Copies of this chain bind each other. A is one copy, B any other.
């Protein structure tokens, strides 16, 4: 009997290391060709399954698959597309089964965050509920670091390293100029609900007075007056003030600061970006010259400054997903288990998907300092090992050289189009 094929898809926002997980999945599957036939990737994620737009990863050389480990972004395309429940949209699930059956797919590897874990869980139930034999394994990925049941999430460590490095570098810049020029610098980072990335900026500070002096977390309602007092105190004490702010910063009313319907001096709607908003508030109230930066996609795509720990973990969860599938497991996610902080030791564990789907892990309150503007020693102990080690990509002509796969389509077997 021909071995079952596998389906692999990338889901949600991509990261600097999601392709390292793909690499782990594909390389490990290739070592077990007696048990797993082809690895088909969904072009643009789950949409590729629904539309029968599959990529034959078997057409890629071993060398190019290995190069996925050092390439950011989603090599097969990702998507933001959440499957509805089986009751709400049975046709979607029947279509998935139709495509999987046509291509002899028995393994489903889904590489994503919380929403994706929910999709993966639903797919894992197809076997029981619609009678199609399938094992679904979730491969964790999210820069937000907010998946439960795992010590950390692949993708986060590299963003953490990038934002801490950037904050340190920009902080040194501002410190140089503060005497006569910029006194306040604001860096906006990702993390809509959980402040993990904002907290990671705090790793840049090792000594009293180092940037960042203040962090604004989505978990802590913005206290304007207290904040302005802290900014002033930092400028008076250290000559400058460097601030990390989460894109998800909220006011006491629970609304995003950037959602306030604010208008600029010309009556134009606020263009978005909490960093300029915070910077302008400081200018208006305290008069300090400011600069601000919004890292946006630069932070989650920055493979050039990836964390070696993160890359290794991303690869290992991909590898483990295949191993778990080969053991006959379903509805699980390889997790990262911390064994010790110092020296940092970790191993791969296993989490039940029902405990992962649709749950967000917020920062514990004791990771944030009492005043709400900094991180605690406990937080630092947690974060520090996640950014350890460098894992530079190869360079050519002065720039990182990233692989672009051929992404050869698998011939279609089904007639007709599926409307998403």
Contacts and interface: CB of A to CB of B under 8 A. Distances in A.
Interface residues of A, number: 77
Interface string A379-391: 0000010011110
A264 interface: yes
A280 interface: yes
B174 A399 contact: no
Contacts of A392: 390, 392
Given A264-B181, A271-B273, A398-B161, A169 B14 contact: no
Interface stretch (A70-78, A126-134, A230-238): A70-78
Nearest to A179: B44
A179 B79 contact: yes
A141 to B, nearest CB: 12
B292 A294 contact: yes
Interface in A174-204: 174-177, 179-181, 185, 187, 203-204
A301 interface: yes
Interface string A261-287: 000110000111101110110000000
A404 B291 CA distance: 23
Interface string A188-228: 00000000000000011000000000000000000000000
Contacts of A203: 397-399
Given A165-B399, A168-B402, A292-B272, A180 B298 contact: no
A272 B276 contact: yes
A22 to B, nearest CB: 11
A2 to B, nearest CB: 31
Contact of A169 (B13, B164, B303): B303
Nearest to A79: B180
A305 interface: yes
A81 interface: yes
19 contacts: A72-B173, A73-B175, A79-B177, A79-B180, A79-B181, A80-B177, A81-B180, A169-B297, A173-B301, A273-B276, A273-B292, A292-B296, A293-B294, A293-B296, A295-B298, A298-B298, A388-B397, A388-B398, A389-B398
Interface of A: 10, 13-14, 16, 44-45, 47, 71-75, 77-81, 161, 164-166, 168-170, 172-177, 179-181, 185, 187, 203-204, 260, 264-265, 270-273, 275-277, 279-280, 289, 291-298, 300-305, 307, 384, 387-390, 392, 395, 397-400, 402
Given A169-B301, A273-B273, A293-B297, 15 more contacts: A14-B173, A44-B180, A45-B180, A80-B180, A80-B181, A164-B399, A168-B400, A169-B304, A172-B402, A185-B297, A187-B298, A271-B279, A271-B280, A273-B294, A298-B298
